[in-house]
Amino acid sequence: MQFTIEVGRYNPDGIYAENAKPGAPYPPPWQQAPPRRYQTYTVELPEYAVVLDALIAIREYQDESLAVRCACRSAICGSCAMWINGHANLACKSKLTEFTKDGKTRVETPPSMPVIRDLVWDMKPFWEQHNKVKPWLVGKPLADPSQEYRADNSRMEELIQEVSCISCGCCLMDCESYAVNPEFLGPHALAKAFRYAGDPRDAETRERLGDYSKPGGVWDCTHCYECVAQCPKGVAPLEQILKLRRMAVDSGFTNNAGTRHADAFADSVKHSGRLNELTLMPRSTGLFNVVGQLKTLPSAFNMARAGKLPPLLHKSIPGVKRIKAIFERVGGRFK
């Protein structure tokens, strides 16, 4: 079969993540000036071929200047992660027939990452964020050092999902929070964080949870599920981030907008059966956070002027007693 591949080539004058203004959101692909240069190749391959087969065929027989990073070709090493038709994927796992759109397959580096050349992006930000979560086990001291540490099977089974991570970077490449906030630790690092914070043998779980609750941590995730959708190994980083949020709140790290938001949300649903938007924003921001409150005022004013403020008198749904009873029964700390 014949396949058309459009490859994003390196442009030394392009605006890439590494030369964006410090602190500014990385430029999205459509803002890159001069625009990214794409080069089109045609390759003849069997129907079962994957994107990586096409890239190797191009490099070997058509254009030796094309830079591609790959190793195992079996979705184990994670080297060939790249943007394929605008989303993160492993080139060795993506069948050309499934990734041909409008007669072609477009491959490029993700716009939120620095580029080394062509399809090779720099994993420096990936490892920098990864290293910030203390990605190793700090063992609890054993009463008898000659014995091994016996961990409960069920506790270790909870970690299996994260242990499957191959550090390919697909989740970070498509992470929406990281794209606008390079301070965010990222889905890969936080999933790894859960792997250790959730380990029964770890001695520093509490300290970890405190660190992960700081700005750039678990509460800076926007909950978009892109990382769950793009992970080639089923790690579901967002699910691990949510577990960390629960663990942190349960450990008493509650002085943050995330916890205030959840508390205000639960309070409103418990008492009226529905959300009270009027009190949610001020309560989440923190009633004594004057600067934060002031920042929300222009939007509140604009919405009020357009007639988009929720009714000042917040009404309960009929049968709200049922909801209160459910909260009483299974509400946990929201009781």
Partner 1 sequence: MRVAFYPGCVSKGACPELYVSAKAIAEPLGLELEELTEAPCTGAGVLSEQNPKLADSLNGLTLAMAESKGASLMTICSTCQGVLSATNHHLKTDTERLAGVNATIGDQGYSYAGTTSVKHLLWILFEDVGLDRIRASIKRKLTGLKIAPFYGCYILRPAEYLGLRERPERKTYLEQLIGLLGAEAVEYSGSTKCCGFPMVTFNRDKSLAMGGNHILEAKDKGADLLVTPCPLCHLNLDGQQPDAARVLRKDIGVPIFHLPQLLGLAFGYSPEELRLDHHVVSTKGALGKVELKV
Site for partner 1 in 257-286 (CB under 8 A): 257-258, 261-262, 265-266, 268-269, 273-277, 280-281, 284-285
Q: How many residues bind partner 1 (CB under 8 A)?
A: 71
**To the nearest whole angstrom, how small is the minimum distance from the Cβ of residue 219 to partner 1?**
5
Question: Please, how many CA atoms are within 13 Å of residue 296, restricted to the half-sphere of its CB?
Answer: 15
- Work out whether 256 is an interface residue with partner 1 (CB under 8 A): yes
CB atoms within 10 A of CB 329: 8
Which of 11-19, 45-53, 70-78, 217-225 is the region at the interface with partner 1 (rule: CB under 8 A)? 217-225
Judged by CB under 8 A, the chain residues 137 through 156 that form the site for partner 1 are none
Q: Tell me which stretch binds partner 1 (CB under 8 A): 155-163, 165-173, 201-209, 303-311.
A: 303-311
Say whether residue 89 binds partner 1 (CB under 8 A). Answer: no
In the bound complex, what is the minimum distance in angstroms from residue 122's beta carbon to partner 1? 22
25-33, 125-133, 140-148, 153-161 -> range binding partner 1 (CB under 8 A): 25-33
Q: Are 49 and 92 in contact (CB under 8 A)?
A: no
Q: 44 burial class (0-12, 13-18, 19+ CB within 10 angstroms)? A: exposed
Q: What is the spatial distance between Cα 181 and Cα 150, in angstroms, rounded to a whole number?
A: 40
Q: Can you read off the two tokens belonging to residue 144? A: 């008898």
CA gap 278, 24 in Å, rounded: 31
Is 126 one of the binding residues for partner 1 (CB under 8 A)?
no
Dist CA 300 CA 286 (whole Å): 16
Q: Is residue 306 at the binding interface for partner 1, with CB under 8 A as the rule?
A: yes
Please answer whether residues 185 and 175 qualify as being in contact, where contact means their C-beta atoms are separated by less than 8 angstroms: no
Question: Measured from the CB atom, is 6 or 176 closer to partner 1?
Answer: 176
Judged by beta carbon, residue 21 or residue 150, the one nearer partner 1 is: 21
Nearest CA-CA partner of 121 in 166, 69, 175, 188: 69
Out of 6, 11, 29, 39, point to the residue binding partner 1 (CB under 8 A): 29
Smallest distance from the beta carbon of 89 to partner 1, in angstroms?
15
Residue 183 C-beta: closest distance to partner 1, Å: 9
Does 326 bind partner 1 (CB under 8 A)? Our answer is yes
Residue placing its CB nearer to partner 1 in the complex, 62 or 299: 299
CB 102 within 8 A of CB 126: no
List the beta strands (DSSP E) in the chain.
2-9, 37-44, 81-84, 87-90, 105-108, 115-117, 120-121
Q: By CB under 8 A, tell whether 242 contacts partner 1.
A: yes
- Would you count residue 249 as binding partner 1 (CB under 8 A)? yes
The answer to whether residue 20 forms part of the interface with partner 1 (CB under 8 A) is no
User: What part of residues 158-187 is at the interface with partner 1 (CB under 8 A)?
Assistant: 176-177, 179-181
Q: Exposure pattern of 254-266 as b/e (b: 16+ CB <10 Å)?
A: eebebbbbbbbbb
- Shortest reach from residue 251's CB to partner 1, in Å: 13
